[in-house]
Structure 1
């Protein structure tokens, strides 16, 4: 499928601007004066474990606030990330983030590790389904690109995404929300919160359903993607109690998913899927308790427990697993002259019990760590961040990971930075010890180790214009790659006993380099334009001849946001244009997406909204088929993304 004809693209862009212009001609009064985000007011804690303003952080960061989520009407974490130029790969029932062209991303909720030492997303050992976390209770999402092993341990090779949940507010407030859309989609949700001077609570519940989505193939024909239906239920609860300057926080989340397990199409031109009729029945629960000494949250003790149970037969093969993670953490902050020190200790234990086609697998692993971070005020706007972490894993022994960052705060609205950091990523227990007819583990696998250098600048040039730029380069040694299994007779479903199992091995050196540019301009009180460009190159000297790391999903990404916000209206048009993709691995070398979001506030308590997604109805995919000895294992287009679809909704607060 070739990119939409230029005349069609022009009409699409013109239509978007006309919609916004009509809105502007109808309403002419007040507007939201906070359209441009003040760098000095954006506060995050993930980058250095300190609560600090973005302008003081020597890192490439993105903060998605509850206000951003509310205005964007995002129904999932993945949609919120994609709207903020964070790549998200969708594969069957799961969506997982990619930072700096790498899926080795640590995902946390309120600072607690959520990644499993296990296969969560088929075909991507590093990944976790980001949409298992409900969006209704999110205060902000902090995205920090670059290695963070010095602060958070292994798994944080490409960066960290930390989801911060909402606290209850004074008084009592309840919000109800309902949405309907294409392909039988509907979602309902309710949140209630309240509190007084000593206590606060926040509770949310949501239910989401959708039939199989439709996609457009390379010939321009529409098909149903079998087994792509959605069936989610989520419950969250948080309670905070204040003791003078201290705070006790308790939080709980429950996610039940009974989604279709449609991972890939074996024939995209006919809408035929591998393993028809499969379901992903998964239940996740998480409990956490944190006691903060002082309101700055730099000193605390924390305990948490995560569990996941799944019963997910694959292609007729029975499979189930039971995962448990327990974690303890203590952290202390000191201020010594020009130095702000953060020190802490962590303990983590994870247990796996699974049965795959009658073969049991039971393993556990534990790690202990100590870390120290120094934020050193050098004067004249210069700040150095120095940190190191020693982590001992029962399978790999002890390792150090360190980082250095230098930040120059030119003024309250401009900073420049450079950083260097190391990272470690351990092979999972499945990689090491799996022993089925489909997958053989290798206990001699080495850890992946990397370093990354980042250089960047953020500036509010004027009251109307803000700009951001960053470049990075990274290298990963002993990168892990999957050697796929095969059947000599190509009839493994009938006679699986002769199947040669797949396995992981350490390959060569992965290299990445990239560039990020963005600019936001407030044209007038009602109109705002944001433009961006992202370049990414991934290469590998993979010597195995199997799954190369040369994915390059989005080598060149151009983005344009046109927003009108005035009185009761908010209209946002988002355009994403991706070029430079290899046609030997993707449906086309380029694609253009157009999404539109329209809000209308009936009054201070009620709003209605509508969204159009992939209005250009592009045939595209974010994930490419893997290769084996130079050949695609699946046909191009096997991970087809949804075609044109719509959502309308209403939200009321009382």
Structure 2
């Protein structure tokens, strides 16, 4: 394998070197104007899929020097204007060109990369995409990723071993979380804890709903959340912010950027801490324990030549927690002190090659490690009661090629290798996953109105059968004020380490959870020790779990009858086979259960999302969102009934029943006001969740009419004053009306006040 990648690197470098040698060069000077000939400042000009990039000055002017002569694809974009795509021919003589941009319908971030793996304007992407810009994040006053995503249409938070994300009715484990296109690892019970991610250095968050397996592989069955970090555009930039709030929550951030000729550097540091909180005043332990965490990241990019760029990204995260737990009953407890450590770091070197005027290559490697160390000590005597370690390694090497054939056709293709390893006492041995993958995507744009994208990905895995994931999407501009979009695709999710190899018994409560591959062995061992009271499912009927598959369909429209009013609607349907869920397999003599994982035959989620934006006056912006969700699983039952002849017979009954922890109705409302004369911004935002199935009290695996929990609504508000475009003071209240639900919504700690100060220097 090592020789293969060395040979690949040699071929790419050689091709890049040969293409540069002897290549004639030219220069390009241009001006970006509005339709009425006014200059556009800070327009983004990219050439050949972002290999060359600059921004326009105060006169709308830009300049590229020492560009290779030949055919180039140029894209010019700016928030508030439709992107301009053009193919230009450069010869040995300097070129001076003028470009005009037309006003666009949606005031959104201009360029996204997650949907197609190449920079594209959000209006041109056929898939349902949501973009949250740095300006929106700043206005909300949030400091962690969980609180930002909680306010978006079609997204809901879940409480299960951390704060997770639910997308179109899928739980947290079905959404891939990435930073700059690289996956984040370290899930507990399938949940990636969104509170691990600070938002202080985020440029934008891109959310793709529906299966993205055709481009991003496993774990993207429900969608992808890609966090794009900030990169400075000036010779020097410094940002400092500090936030203090309820529960002694402190958040400090420092963002530093420097550029010198062909060398870019971006450094970020964040510290976040809290004394924790308890939703039950008389509880012996806290709902969220005291913690302190640190995040550091570094990004650098060096231009080696006109054809070759090198890039490196590194990230480090560390958190410590102090908690209290107990053994026995609440009336006569044996108290325990807990200490927990989380550590997460990643390294990613990348080489960018411009092999020819229309061909771009990217060779990258990504390494990530996530580990935890949790200890429980008796308060009396301080002796060790239990210690648990978890250590996960992830390596991915990938080669991606982008070919712009002309203004009508473009192809993206890639291949790679992944190696994952786990070391933990709760897993048998040291499980290892190895997989190979390849993908290809082609885009056809016959005219400015129609855009069709087709893609296919193949994954070969060491622990389950190979997977093929196709995808097709299209966008059609029916009128200047109406776009139609549709997409269909297949997604998959591979069984993870936990579902295959877990060997865990809770040290304080006493229940056990085993992976499907070692379940029979562990059950028989417990039987031999006399610890099993009852077997709920015959062991000879238990099978190893398979990969989950889905087919998803999205159809939507973007409508703008007036400049100040826009509406986006998306209808979705997801059909899932072999959905993996956990259930009790046996009862133990201590009164607890043994759980394992199995495949459900059929599950579907379907619904509609709508997003309304209205600017009645320039200073006022109102957005409203709504999602209708119907999430059901197939239930097969054998019932004893009386037939037409009066005889008692058994009959199989099939029905589709509601699933737990999914609100059928959710909605949000956001009102933003800008007082320009005083440079004051204020907002109020509300999120409503309809009733949902809380807990399976009778063990039938679906929601009965008496198992629903009432809906709820939360409100947040903030006001900010900016001075000289450098200093900002913000005051805010989260959960304005102090709504809590102990034992259920642990991510809602009650009313929280905060103050935040920001400073920008450049």
Shorter-chain TM-score tier: 0.7 to 0.9
Does residue 208 of structure 2 align to residue 144 of structure 1? Answer: yes
Which residue is 1:327 aligned to? 396
Which of 482, 490, 511 in structure 1 is aligned with 2:582? 482
Distance 1:360 1:429, change over 3 A: closer
Bigger strand fraction: 2
Is contact 2:556–2:571 with CA below 8 Å preserved after alignment?
yes
1:306 equivalent in alignment to 2:373:
no
Change (3 A) 1:46 1:442: same
The answer as to whether partners of 1:485 and 1:502 remain within 8 angstroms in 2 is: yes
> Partners of 2:273 and 2:578 in 1: how far apart?
42
Measure how far apart 1:588 and its partner are.
Answer: 4.0
Cα distance in 2 for partners of 1:468, 1:223 equals 48
Tell me, what secondary structure is at the counterpart of 2:240? strand
Paired position in structure 2 for 1:431:
499
Distance, in Å, in 2 between the alignment partners of 1:406 and 1:434 is 42
Structure 1 residue 237 corresponds to structure 2 residue 298: yes
Report if the CA contact (8 A) 1:507-1:543 is conserved: no
Map Cα deviations across residues 393-436 of structure 1 (whole Å, 9 max, x no partner).
Answer: 01113221101112113466642111111011111122212345
Return the match for 2:550 from 450, 457, 461.
Answer: 450
1:566 aligns with 2:675: yes
* Partner Cα separation in structure 2 for residue 50 and residue 274 of structure 1: 57
- Please show how residues 630-649 of structure 1 align to structure 2 within 5 Å: 637=744, 639=746, 641-649=748-756
Task: Select between 52-61 and 161-170 the one with higher mean Cα deviation.
Answer: 161-170
Map 1:192-203; keep pairs closer than 5 Å.
192-203=256-267
Match of 1:579 in 2: 690
Deviation string for 1:256-313 (max 9, x for gaps)? 011357999x99xx99999964443110001111222349996311111000111124
1:510 to 584, 603, 616: 603
CA 44–638 in structure 1, closer or farther in 2 if over 3 Å, else same: closer
**Are residues 1:318 and 2:425 paired?**
no
- Given the alignment of the two structures, is residue 105 of structure 1 paired with residue 175 of structure 2, yes or no? yes
What TM-score does the superposition give when structure 2 sets the normalisation length? 0.71
Hey, what's the Cα distance between the residues in 2 that align with 1:55 and 1:302? 29
2:91 counterpart residue number: none
Q: Once the 2 structures are TM-superposed, how far is the Cα of residue 38 of structure 1 from its aligned partner? A: 2.9
Q: Distance in 1 between matches of 2:606 and 2:337?
A: 41
SS of alignment partner, residue 601 of structure 2: coil
User: Matched residues in 2 for 1:364 and 1:522: separation?
Assistant: 54
2: distance between equivalents of 1:87 and 1:216? 27
Query: Of 542, 553, 557, which aligns to 2:666?
Result: 557
Shift of the alpha carbon at 1:167?
1.7
Residue 87 of structure 2 is matched in structure 1 by none
Contact 2:622–2:672 (Cα < 8 Å) also in 1: yes
Deviation at 1:354, TM superposition (A): 0.7
- Verify: 1:351 aligned to 2:421, yes or no: yes
Task: Please list, as runs of the form range in 1=range in 2, the aligned pairs for 1:413-428 lying within 5 A after superposition.
Answer: 414-428=482-496
Whether 2:254 is the aligned partner of 1:254: answer no
1:200-254 deviations in whole A, cap 9, x for unaligned?
111111111111224379xxx9998444333111111111122335432211110
Question: Which of 509, 512, 515 in structure 2 is aligned with 1:441?
Answer: 515
Over 3 Å counting, the alpha-carbon distance change for 1:70 and 1:452 in structure 2 is same
CA displacement at 1:639 relative to structure 2? 4.1
- SS of 1:212's equivalent in the other structure is coil
Q: CA deviation at 1:89?
A: 2.6
Q: Secondary structure at the match of 1:68?
A: helix
Which residue matches 2:568? 468
Match of 2:634 among 541, 545, 551: 541
Deviation at 1:581, TM superposition (A): 2.3
Q: Distance in 1 between matches of 2:374 and 2:470?
A: 39
Q: Which has the larger radius of gyration?
A: 2
Distance change in 2, residues 1:410/1:222 (3 Å):
farther
SS at structure 2 position matched to 1:215: coil
1:39 deviates by 5.6
| More displaced stretch, 431-440 vs 206-215 | 431-440
Q: What is the SS of the residue equivalent to 2:445?
A: strand
Q: Which moved more, 1:534-543 or 1:594-603?
A: 534-543
Alignment of 1:520 onto 2:580: no
- 1:295-349 Cα distance to aligned partner (Å, 9 max, x none): 9996311111000111124795421011111111111111235321111002110
Tell me if the contact between 1:263 and 1:639 (Cα under 8 Å) persists in the aligned partners. Answer: no
Return the match for 2:460 from 378, 392, 415.
Answer: 392
Asked if structure 1 preserves the Cα contact closer than 8 Å seen for 2:110 and 2:122, the reply is yes
Corresponding residue for residue 336 of structure 1: 405
Question: Structure 2: how far apart are the matches of 1:272 and 1:60?
Answer: 54
Q: Does the CA-based 8 Å contact 1:235-1:255 persist in structure 2?
A: yes
Moved more, 297-306 or 405-414: 405-414
Look up the SS of the partner of 1:67 in the other structure.
Answer: helix
Aligned to 1:240, the other structure's residue is in SS state strand
Comparing 390-399 with 154-163, which one deviates more in the overlay?
Answer: 390-399
Q: 1:439 to 1:482 in 2, by over 3 A?
A: same
482-491 or 246-255: bigger deviation: 482-491
User: Match of 1:14?
Assistant: none
Q: Residues 1-400 of structure 1: matches in 2 within 5 Å?
A: 38=106, 42-85=110-153, 87-91=155-159, 94-102=162-170, 103=172, 104-115=174-185, 120-122=187-189, 125=190, 127-215=191-279, 225-242=286-303, 243-244=305-306, 246-259=308-321, 277-294=337-354, 299-313=361-375, 316-337=385-406, 338-356=408-426, 361-379=429-447, 381-400=449-468
Distance verdict in 2 for CA 1:403–1:226, change over 3 Å: closer
Q: CA deviation at 1:37?
A: 7.8
2:733 maps to 1:603: no
Paired residues in the alignment total 586
Whose relative contact order is higher, 1 or 2, with alpha carbons under 8 Å and at least 6 apart?
Answer: 1
**1:112-170 CA-partner distances (Å, limit 9, x unpaired):** 12245xxx223xx2x32223233222111110000011111111100011111222332
Looking at structure 2, the residues matched to 527 and 40 of structure 1 have their Cα atoms a distance apart, in angstroms, of 16
- Structure 1 position 95, deviation (Å): 2.1
TM-score, reference length from structure 1 = 0.82
CA offset at residue 382 of structure 1?
A: 1.6
Residues 640, 147 of structure 1: CA spacing in aligned structure 2 closer, same or farther, 3 A cutoff? Answer: closer
Do 1:49 and 1:298's aligned partners in 2 also have CA atoms closer than 8 Å? no
Deviation (angstroms), 1:367: 0.8
Q: Give the 3 Å change call, closer, same or farther, for CA 39–525 of structure 1 in structure 2.
A: closer
Distance verdict in 2 for CA 1:69–1:521, change over 3 Å: same
Please state how far the C-alpha of 1:527 moved relative to its aligned partner. 1.0
- Cα drift, residue 560 of structure 1: 1.0
Indicate the residue corresponding to 2:714 in structure 1: 593
Please say if residues 215 and 224 of structure 1, whose CA atoms lie closer than 8 Å, have aligned partners that are also in contact. Answer: no
